[in-house]
Amino acid sequence: MIRRLALLGVGLIGGSLVRALRQQRGVAEVVGYGRHRDNLNQALEQGVIDRVADSVAEAVTGADMVVVAVPLGAIRPLFSEMVGHLAEDVVVTDVGSVKGSVVEDAKAVFGTLPVWLIPAHPIAGTEKSGVAASFAELYQGRRVILTPLPESDPVAVERVTEMWRLTGAEVVEMEVEHHDEVLAATSHLPHLLAYALVDSLARQPSQREIFHFAAGGFRDFSRIASSNPTMWRDIAMANRQPLLDTLSRFRQDLEQVETMIRDGEGDALQTLFSRAKQVRDEHYG
């Protein structure tokens, strides 16, 4: 059992983690810290957290597990505020979608990568945000990626692994650089495209008709454009080079599709569509 968990950022991801841990009796006390008092009060009323801390230092003092669940751009300042206030037996982890930036932030603040810092990324979420959107079943059957470094304490890795297993998640390990490359392709690029498409269509003269008559396919694809803009801005900036590399490759493929349509290459287009359908059906049914 986690004796005291300090949750820095009480939203969908962190709130769902705590709800799942409470169901499994995996945590005794949760101290919450965040910028929005109304959200913290709601978390308190719903029993997600046991008390509210007025500062990062207060939140982490005495905690044996610290979960950083804020946008990537806010992580380095939080690390700085932890200095001098962490317990000797503490384990610190995060939920960010980019791991290279978390590692660099830690090195910048602590001078080296602490053995008790275990970067992590739960591959789960919805387009909603805030503690009100959190639910205990969010991680059941989902994957959580840990990206421990050679310096990482094996005991700390095991503690974070066990925490996430209690939520019903499958825990896997991956190297930091590989994680960021994979997520650039499978998560960051799709979100970028959804935001860009919705914004592009919204600026067209016939945008009222476009959105009024949009079918389910457009709603399904554009759903992720309702995600937290601040979080996704930070992700795009933090994972800039892998995202640019993935975007460049996709642009080349998209230009080939444009050529097929312009030149009337229906057979080539059908081949592409069939190949894509087969790959998706094999992975997702």
Q: What is the pLDDT of residues 170-201, one digit of tens each?
A: 999 999 999 999 999 999 999 999 999 999 99
Judge whether residue 29 has pLDDT over 90: yes
Of 169, 171, 152, 153, nearest to 161 by C-alpha is: 171
CB-based contact 129:226 (threshold 8 Å): no
The pLDDT confidence band at residue 75, using thresholds 50, 70 and 90, is very high
The pLDDT confidence band at residue 25, using thresholds 50, 70 and 90, is very high
Q: What is the pLDDT of residues 76-121, one digit of tens each?
A: 999 999 999 999 999 999 999 999 999 999 999 999 999 999 999 9
Judge whether residue 213 has pLDDT over 90: no
The pLDDT confidence band at residue 57, using thresholds 50, 70 and 90, is very high
The pLDDT confidence band at residue 215, using thresholds 50, 70 and 90, is confident
- For the chain, give the percent of residues with pLDDT over 70: 100
- For the chain, give the percent of residues with pLDDT over 90: 90
Judge whether residue 128 has pLDDT over 90: no
Segment 127-153 mean pLDDT: 95
- How far apart CA 175 and CA 177 sit, in angstroms, is 6
- How far apart CA 69 and CA 12 sit, in angstroms, is 9
- How far apart CA 52 and CA 37 sit, in angstroms, is 9
Residues in the chain, overall count: 285
Question: H or E segment at 154?
Answer: helix 154-165
**What phi, psi does 65 have (nearest 5°)?**
-140, 130
Structural domains in the chain, sorted by start: 2-174 (3.40.50.720), 178-284 (1.10.3660.10)
And the tokens for 24? 């499994």
Q: What is the pLDDT of residues 231-280, one digit of tens each?
A: 999 999 999 999 999 999 999 999 999 999 999 999 999 999 999 999 99
Q: What pLDDT is recorded for position 214?
A: 85
- How far apart CA 268 and CA 126 sit, in angstroms, is 36
- How far apart CA 7 and CA 14 sit, in angstroms, is 7
Judge whether residue 216 has pLDDT over 90: no
Tokens 């804020």 appear where?
A: 70
β 120-122/143-146 pair status: antiparallel
Q: How far is CA 231 from the centre of its chain?
A: 9
Q: What pLDDT is recorded for position 212?
A: 87
The pLDDT confidence band at residue 207, using thresholds 50, 70 and 90, is confident
Judge whether residue 285 has pLDDT over 90: no
Q: What pLDDT is recorded for position 164?
A: 98
